[in-house]
Structure 1
Amino acid sequence: MYRTLFSLVLSKLDPERAHQLAFFVIKALPTFGVGRLVRRFTRPDPSLAVDALGLRFDSPFGVAAGFDKDGEGVIGLGQLGFGHVEVGTLTARAQPGNEKPRLFRLIPDRAVINRMGFNNHGAATAARRLGTIAATRKRPVLGVNIGKSRVVSVEDATADYLESARVLAPVADYLVVNVSSPNTPGLRGLQELDLLAPLLRAVREVADEVPLLVKIAPDLTDDQVRKIADLVVDLRLAGIIATNTTIAREGLRTDPAVVEKAGAGGLSGAPLAERSLEVLRLIRAQVPAELCVISVGGVETAADVQRRLDAGATLVQGYTAFLYLGPLWARQINRGLVRLR
């Protein structure tokens, strides 16, 4: 049914507008007990529970950062069957993001190009909302992803991240330093070890006992991935999220003119699957078994999720396929995982 709706209606809407409409429904789920009824239908089987980061996840499958930028739909997403929700990316300064249009579908590739630019209402505003959510008993695990404010120079990035971390760490189950989005000028340069090491060390001190992870790009070389993995171990961080969106455009089936018209931005979805899996394997071969590795990129089916788990992922996240497969996607993943076990 959803595929028909997508084909006949949603695919004809501006992608960002379609996302806003869907997100409105997700935010409304907890209202009047509707979400509790949905939860009876979508609750993950107890056999899927995972212990990681000192937390209990109902399912290894969660929502990647970018879907719920300001933490407004956490409860509703949990009621749809996701074991965790990573909100953000949040920045210390509220910012509108890049000019529209900034979200583009590549339907033949089941992919999306985005150059949203960390549009959000700021860390302090989110912290007030997330504090209420964190106190809620029946909710998914809550991750908070932080990035650099656009108006802040790379030289001042550490202070900017620390401002976000101070207000958001107390309301997060885990905290993520995002240095890998292609849509904020200079951000990916922070993945260079001489910049990344002091940044992560400083945020770790502010995060205190909250598990801290770093999110990296798929466009790093294999050697860069290994060096960052070594750094994470040396700094005793809780884990790595691999990977963010890619700036690559090779091997796409979508008409090149459509891709060119979409322009710059990060590509996510099915075309990212193989590189994301490669990076996962590189990291897992480099780090201790107890380090949390969250795999994201190109995941669509339960078999995809199980493949990542078999390759050493502690947890798996998705986003783009949600736009193509609809609100029962997490339920389908969770039920499929049970059948595969």
Structure 2
Amino acid sequence: MSATPLTERLAEIARASAPGAARPAGDVRVLKDTGVTVVRAGDVVAKAHPAGTGEADLTARLRAAGALPGVLLPPLDQRVRRAGDRLVTVWPAGEPVDPADPEAAPWEAAAELLARLHAVPADGLIPPHAGPADALVLPPAGGPARLLAALARLDDLTAGTGDGRYAAPAGVIREAYLSLPSGVAGARPGAGLLTHGDWHLGQIVRYQGAWLLIDVDDLGAGTPSWDLARPAAWFATGFLSPDLWRRFLSAYLGAGGSAVSHGDPWRELDVPARALTIQLAATAVASARTEGRPLDDVEQDLVSSCGRIIRAAAPQ
């Protein structure tokens, strides 16, 4: 990716935030530049959060990361910086999972981390060296809201278009969404446990020999089953093998995970998995529309999965 004023500013922030006297002069890489922008300089990562991110919510989430060592990657400090109109945080660099080798991914470690996260009440989390009066007030987790945002983006891009490459799939996705229980994406979470809000394999890194969860943008009070929605949806749509799903779910339950019951995990997972499939399909079609290209095979499979959701919900 070519440098932009934002990525250059993030590189400066990362260099200036490196611990100790040494400041990395080179080795700058842009890791991501979409709704968020992430730049690595040496062993420090600077992240520009999405436009419109609230500073109070982000600060609370940073403090929560620092309060859960061994579960969440701690930020280098809890200051929120700015680069233009974007809020910026700095983190130690970790080793990500190889997305091209899901068989080698740390499924058990990821499941155990989620189980430990879901054991934490969202209300009353106290950062280190603080007292009860400093208990954190965390916002709702971002899972359900991400579904609504994906649908809104799809509607914005396909409204009035006569191009069947996008209009027809968008119609299937909207119908699948309407088949979900009323209010599933708009209701405030009832469980009140700490949840990640956007978990997938890209949200775990190895740091100092241990796997840790990253990305606090959607961390907050939520229903834990939404954190298992992506692997559940991958399994249900055939993108994740039964063996990997079994390993993940068994490790989660074995670590005391509270999101699902042992006897029938799909009682809790069915709706979040359907919702996540719809979100992924909406994001895929919106991206194809933005890029002006046909849907690829994976994107078509996601739309087909939405069709199956509609048929499964139809009265028999």
Same fold (TM over 0.5): no
TM-score (structure 1 length as normaliser) = 0.27
TM-score (structure 2 length as normaliser) = 0.28
